[in-house]
Homo-oligomer: A and B are copies of this chain.
Amino acid sequence: MSHRVSDEVAARATSEEITGSGAPSRRHHHDGDSLPYIHKVGAPPKQNLVREIKEAVKETFFHDNPLGHFKDQSGRRKLVLGLQAVFPILEWGRGYNLSKFKGDLVSGLTIASLCIPQDIAYAKLANLQPQFGLYSSFVCPLVYAFMGSSRDIAIGPVAVVSLLLGTMLTDEISDYTKHEYLRLAFTATFFAGITQMTLGVLRLGFLIDFLSHAAIVGFMGGAAITIALQQLKGLLGIKNFTKKTDIVSVMHSVWSNVHHGWNWQTIVIGMAFLAYLFASKFMAKKNKKLFWVSALAPLVSVILSTFFVYITRADKKGVAIVKHLEKGVNPSSASEIYFSGKYLGPGIRIGVIAGMIALTEAVAIGRTFAAMKDYALDGNKEMVAMGTMNIIGSLTSCYVATGSFSRSAVNYMAGCQTAVSNIVMSIVVLLTLELITPLFKYTPNAVLASIIIAAVSGLVDIEAAILLWKIDKFDFLACIGAFFGVIFKNVEIGLLIAVAISFAKILLQVTRPRTALLGKLPGTTLYRNIQQYPSASQIPGMVIIRVDSAIYFSNSNYIKERILRWLQDEDAQRKEHSTQIQYLVVEMSPVTDIDTSGIHAFEELHKSLQKREIQLVLANPGPIVMEKLHASKLAELIGEDNIFLTVADAVATFGSKAEP
């Protein structure tokens, strides 16, 4: 069985291997016609410029066709649709019923019991007084319920954003007891909301995709460990604790306080409840139905420990307690936001970063649960909802809120149906603020620390990191870079490393695309990478190379040089068998686009090949590439006859001429 076509026409009629197989010729073969029937490479009708730009803009920013259902509707209907677009509650609210409410009520109460102790604890991470955590769990979920499109997300303050905010705010104003600190926090929250809303309105939501999954895994893991380390202060009852967040400073601080700074009563309380929290978490993991044991554990811990401290007056023995917790509903903070002055700049900067991170978390959560229940989630609409929520939040004494991983999971498992569970939670928080906040006065800080540690422990996802290692080493690098950046320096550096590595990956992708040497799979007319299919055989006199990327200025020279190197290597190898290479076939199927630099590279390639008396042949260029080949006259230069629909066609046509 030979691997080449001895004569173009005869081969198709006689060779067992080729006859009836050259796919394009088959029909004619069966019609008794042995002339090869070769499809011409199609070029789409030339679009006019305006249309072309319109299409490009649409695909870039409006690929989800957000206004599609507005088409062909009456004015009144359009208004209703418009309102429904901004407030999805108007849409799903109409189908709301009692059975759904049952699910939402149970899940709402569950996440409320979880969020109240967490809110108090997280506010401390942001160096804010505890009531601000509760404020954020009252207003923000309410706003989201009306505007958001996720059914499972649980809104409120979260650990990582609280830490990020606390770190960045303290960098600006190191004394966080100052009123300026609080004002800067509101300012940052306001601009976080503005950032989120802007991204949504301008449909730039894809920008958050640049923080890759891998980077988030590393960043979250690092942040969780940093947060847990910070809790050693509360858990061990240390008074003089470092303000830095890196692991070296924290461990130094912990050990230097070992002799006179630790408080054994605090340690006993903290460790006891930490053990209880982890035990309940473990139970819930073993038996999914017991998730409520874990969900209620923080509230139980707070109630028990508060009661215990109140009875024993352990606070007199050095056990630090919450002490002060403002009663009542959110006061207005509209006049507190800096719209000018020296804190405006830092406020914007912190707001943009915190807003982006909060959004990344919320969108990741939203997507996960939307995929699990298979409903559509409009990323840009989500951003607008988040933005509005944080803007309104910043005016009502809230700090940056977003979707919480752990509470959303509990919400989902408790059987939430719609965003009404957030409304239920919000009402419970309101009642708490109005009625029982003074009771939290005796809650020991050690228990709050335990609650935080237990909550963030879920963020360290070792399995995900192992999977990253298995699947993609570069992703693992981004993950581990972000992780070490966070724990050894701070959250900002970690973020920076993660983004830098992600960008390096993109740069690598666009500068060093892959190319492959193709061979013919035995018994087919398919040409495949000979590395993947070792049985694939090469055609004498021809070198077939596939380019696996759009050809742009960033890689055109590399591609040209790489193709010439393939040729050189093959030439050297085949010289030993004294065959001469006469055709270079470039399989263009994966080449979706080519720019002027790419065209130039091919012109140069063609020129180089001419000197070596090798004919350049193109196989299956796509529509855009065809258009540009014609526009640049490169198609004429190469020769229309040398552009084929498939590699098989090229081989059928030239295989005979390429005999040694």
Which residues of A are at the interface with B, using a C-beta cutoff of 8 A?
16-17, 19-21, 23-24, 26-27, 29-30, 37, 39, 42-44, 49, 52-53, 59-60, 63-65, 206, 209-210, 212-215, 367, 371-372, 374, 379, 467-468, 470-475, 502, 505-506, 508-514, 516, 521, 523-526, 528-529, 531-534, 548-550, 552-558, 561-562, 565, 589-590, 592-593, 595-597, 599-600, 604, 607-608, 611-612, 620, 622-624, 626, 628, 631-632, 645-646
Are A506 and B510 in contact (CB-based, < 8 A)?
A: yes
Are B24 and A20 in contact (CB-based, < 8 A)?
A: no
With A42-B533, A511-B206 known as contacts, the answer to whether A607 contacts B371 (CB < 8 A) is yes
Contact of A213 among B53, B65, B600, B611 (CB under 8 A): B600
Give Cα distance in the complex from A624 to B525, angstroms. 23
Name the B residues within 8 Å of A632 (CB-CB).
467, 470-471
Name the B residues within 8 Å of A39 (CB-CB).
521, 524, 526, 533
Name the B residues within 8 Å of A604 (CB-CB).
367, 371
| Of listed A19, A215, A532, A604, residue having the most chain B CB within 10 A | A532
Give Cα distance in the complex from A514 to B17, angstroms. 35
Are B628 and A472 in contact (CB-based, < 8 A)?
A: yes
Name the B residues within 8 Å of A514 (CB-CB).
592-593, 624
Give Cα distance in the complex from A632 to B53, angstroms. 39
| Of listed A30, A592, A645, residue having the most chain B CB within 10 A | A592
Task: Determine how close the nearest CB of chain B comes to the CB of A272; give it in whole angstroms.
Answer: 39
Give Cα distance in the complex from A628 to B511, angstroms. 22
Give Cα distance in the complex from A526 to B648, angstroms. 11
Give Cα distance in the complex from A472 to B552, angstroms. 11
Are B64 and A592 in contact (CB-based, < 8 A)?
A: no
Task: Determine how close the nearest CB of chain B comes to the CB of A413; give it in whole angstroms.
Answer: 18
Give Cα distance in the complex from A632 to B471, angstroms. 6
Are B523 and A37 in contact (CB-based, < 8 A)?
A: yes
With A42-B533, A367-B604, A599-B471 known as contacts, the answer to whether A512 contacts B592 (CB < 8 A) is no
Are B374 and A506 in contact (CB-based, < 8 A)?
A: no
With A39-B524, A470-B632, A471-B599 known as contacts, the answer to whether A60 contacts B512 (CB < 8 A) is yes
Q: Supply 4 further A-B pairs (C-beta < 8 A) apart from A206-B512, A209-B553, A212-B554.
A: A20-B20, A24-B524, A39-B526, A471-B599
With A64-B561, A506-B510, A553-B212 known as contacts, the answer to whether A44 contacts B622 (CB < 8 A) is no
